[in-house]
Amino acid sequence: MMNFEEKLEHSLDHLEQSRVKEAMLYSLCAPAKRLRPRMIYSVLKGYGLDESKGDYCALAIEMIHSYSLIHDDLPCMDDDDLRRGQKTCHCQFDEATALLAGDALLSEAFGLLMKTDCSAEIKNDLVSEFVNAIGANGMILGQMLDLISEEQQADVQMCSKIDILKTGCLFSLAMISGCLLAEKKTDKEVWRKIGYKLGLAFQIQDDCLDVSSTAQVLGKSLSDEKNHKSTFVSELGFKKAEKLYQQYFDEIENDLKMCNIQIEPVMDIINQIRHRDH
């Protein structure tokens, strides 16, 4: 049995050898926490199902996450040169290759979804949920608003919207994917809400960690400060921001108890996030 890292390494075996494939693998297989795949697996486990049912979805969502980081790091976006403790894709290769690697990861993610072990109808639902989460009403809108917030200082409400879109949408997607694969469609909207809240908590916590950590510990450049972006800490102050994300984590635990699921597997990952130091 392959572990998730090995599955990632083999997820592009169907592609012809090329510079773009090399760049895709370089970014996809960089050491990372794999939070979103683990969310899919934990939801499946909570519903009493075999984790392997979520494999292709988990690979697809990690590809989406990886594409978004590659494009986010480009000079015309955040212009970062360090990511996950290694050179960003466009620094290791070149801008054009990084652009194409991102495009290709985004495309191939939908191909992997089609390999999922489920009915044709559920595959359709997965595709629709992926598009909702990652498109111009989801993650991409978040990135757009984030860019605009560099020009016009964002208030707390806008910071929340950006974080829900940029991070919450993919967290929701992971949980909804697990829920759809478990054929528990009626729970879908609860998972969406939990995912949004978790994304928000995660990002506020990130803002707090950015202040209390150094680039070395985080393994990435501190581009927010460099770009003079509004953050929850700059808007609310450190103490209030910290209290806010802790409150969201508490709420998530309560929301979960309303779900018809064994909550331990999901709580495991939520607690790992809550108690991280980077």
127 binds a second copy (CB under 8 A): yes
Report the alpha-carbon distance of residue 234 to residue 231 in Å, rounded: 5
x-marked contacts with a second copy along 20-59 as a string, rule CB under 8 A: xx--x-----------------------------------
* Chosen residue from 2, 148, 217, 258 binding a second copy by CB under 8 A: 148
- The count of other CB atoms within 10 Å of the CB of residue 216 is 10
Query: How near is the Cβ of 162 to a second copy at its closest, in Å?
Result: 12
| Contact code string over 225-264 relative to a second copy, x by CB under 8 A | ----------------------------------------
216 binds a second copy (CB under 8 A): no
Rounded CA separation 14/11 (Å): 8
Please say which residue, 32 or 112, places its beta carbon nearer to a second copy: 112
User: Is the CB of 150 or the CB of 255 nearer to a second copy?
Assistant: 150
Q: Is 219 in the site for a second copy (CB under 8 A)?
A: no
Closest to 75 measured CA to CA, from 204, 223, 210, 265: 223
Both tokens of 6, joined, read: 């090995």
Q: What is the smallest separation between the CB atom of 29 and a second copy, expressed in angstroms?
A: 15
Footprint of a second copy (CB under 8 A): 12, 14-16, 18-21, 24, 67, 71, 74, 76-77, 94-97, 99-100, 102-104, 106-108, 110-111, 113-114, 119-121, 123-124, 127-128, 130-132, 134-137, 140-141, 143-145, 147-148
